[in-house]
Amino acid sequence: MLTSDLPGEKLAAGDVGTIVHVHRDGKAYEVEFMSLDGETIAVVTLELAQLRPIERREIAHARRVA
């Protein structure tokens, strides 16, 4: 889950992505963010501090991408 907004990528804190590659022994990650209908919104390299794992008892939330 993204911890901060990335307006240049149309991403917002709380958006959920999929890690597709691990860089530098887990210090950075290539993450793909997709719409619910399967369109890739962005693939970005993020530092560990920009992400957090999804926790138990969290609920997904949908929003439109600008």
- For each of the chain's 66 residues, which pLDDT tens digit applies? 999 999 999 999 999 999 999 998 999 999 999 999 999 999 999 999 999 999 999 999 999 997
> Left (φ > 0), alpha (ψ -120 to 50) or beta: where does 63 sit?
beta
- The pTM assigned to this predicted structure is 0.90
The one-letter amino acid at 54: I
Tokens 């990335």, located at residue: 6
Domain count of the fold of the chain: 1
Determine, yes or no, domain membership for 60. no
Residue 13's domain comprises: 7-50
Domain assignment present for 2:
no
